[in-house]
Structure 1
Amino acid sequence: MAQIQEKSTPCKGGKRRAKRTQTHLDMTPMVDLAFLLLTFFMLTTTFNKLNLMQLQMPIPGGENPVKGENALTVMLGEKDKIHYYFGYAGDNPEVATTDFSANGIRKVLSSGRVKKNDKLVVLIKATEASRYKNLVDILDEVRITGTRRYALADLQTDDKELLTANIGG
């Protein structure tokens, strides 16, 4: 609250002088209000929204709903290597090896063969030697290249045999 303090001045020569008033402003209520507003806005503000990624999982024990010509199988290997082939392992496809560089899997996912086929599904399979970081990185690459259809799948025995025959590991 504001307080008014009156101060009388001594008279000189018989003249009366007007009384001077000094005001003192108490800033405590205004500071309290400022902190209340600051606290209110801090608590009601959304700082960061979560980014969610839709992920489809194949039906366990079900048949392959995707034809071989519409499948790109990506297998995550050791030492940040990626092995991929078009089709299924039973068709004895040609296995290629790449990595996470700009000319690696991103180039494959943004190639004409992948982009022209609207029904193409990228099947992501992790080997036992791969790391969790590799799975996150491949999901990032799928998102960056705008691939719309992808799924995480289990590594089958056919895939392991194909890797052993073509890569040696």
Structure 2
Amino acid sequence: MFKSKGFMNYQRKQLTPDLTPLIDVVFLLLIFFMVATTFDDMKGMKIDLPKSEVSEITEAVDKISILVTSNGELKIKIDRQKESSIVDIRKDELQEKIKNIIVLMENKRVAILADRGIDYGDVVDIMSDIKLAGAQAIDIETKGK
């Protein structure tokens, strides 16, 4: 019936593994870690927070933090949706600066991060200035034990 002309030369196709799914997974992991990573803006600041049994974290869209270092320097950390900035201030201008910032906030909460070596009276003075500036709530942040 059929006559064979001999062996035909077929070019064999090289089999290579498909790397597309692997690359997709790598990019998904990269995106996940980029989104899940938090950046700490306060690494250079030495503030020894007091310890507390209860340490509740509340997330706010806008957040103001008053940072008090061990030598009494005041800084305001302003967190907005995608940006954060830290500004040095003097004690006599604290109330006015907070008043200007708090007007723009929906959640009028202010956090205080004071070094454990700061006098109690200084923290009370700062809390008084914050309340007079129009804050509805004052949070004192601590670190867990």
- Over 6 Å off, 4+ runs: none
Q: Structure 2 stretches of 5 or more lacking a match?
A: 1-51
Unpaired runs of 5+ residues, structure 1, are 1-57, 157-169
The equivalent residue for 2:86 is 95
CA RMSD of aligned residues (A): 2.9
Contact map agreement 1:126 1:155 (CA 8 A) in 2: no
**More helix as a share of residues:** 1
Residue 107 (1) aligns with residue 89 (2): no
* Number of aligned residue pairs: 92
Higher relative contact order (CA 8 A, sep 6+): 2
Is the Cα contact below 8 Å between 1:125 and 1:155 reproduced in 2? no
Q: Secondary structure of the equivalent of 2:85?
A: coil
% identity of equivalent residues: 9
Alignment partners' CA distance in 2, 1:150 and 1:119: 11
Asked if residue 146 in structure 1 is aligned to residue 140 in structure 2, the reply is: no
Work out which of the two has the higher radius of gyration on C-alpha atoms and give 1 or 2: 1
2:110 equivalent in structure 1: 122
- Judged with a 3 Å threshold, the aligned counterparts in structure 2 of structure 1 residues 155 and 130 are, in CA distance, closer, same or farther, namely farther
User: Residue 66 of structure 2: SS of its match in structure 1?
Assistant: strand
Partner of 2:62: 70
Distance 2:74 2:143 in 1: 14
Q: Is the 8 A contact 1:76 1:134 kept in 2?
A: no
Q: 1:133 to 1:61 in 2, by over 3 A?
A: closer
User: How far did 1:155 drift?
Assistant: 5.4
**1:8-87 correspondence to structure 2 within 5 Å:** 60-62=54-56, 64-67=57-60, 69-87=61-79
Cα deviation 1:37-73 (Å, max 9, x = unaligned): xxxxxxxxxxxxxxxxxxxxx99244x3222x32111
- SS of the residue corresponding to residue 76 of structure 2 reads strand
| Shift in Å, 1:142 | 1.6
Q: TM-score, normalised by structure 1?
A: 0.45
Length-normalised TM-score, structure 2: 0.52
The whole-number CA distance in structure 2 between the counterparts of 1:133 and 1:65 is 26
Residues 155 and 97 of structure 1, relative CA distance in 2, 3 Å threshold = farther
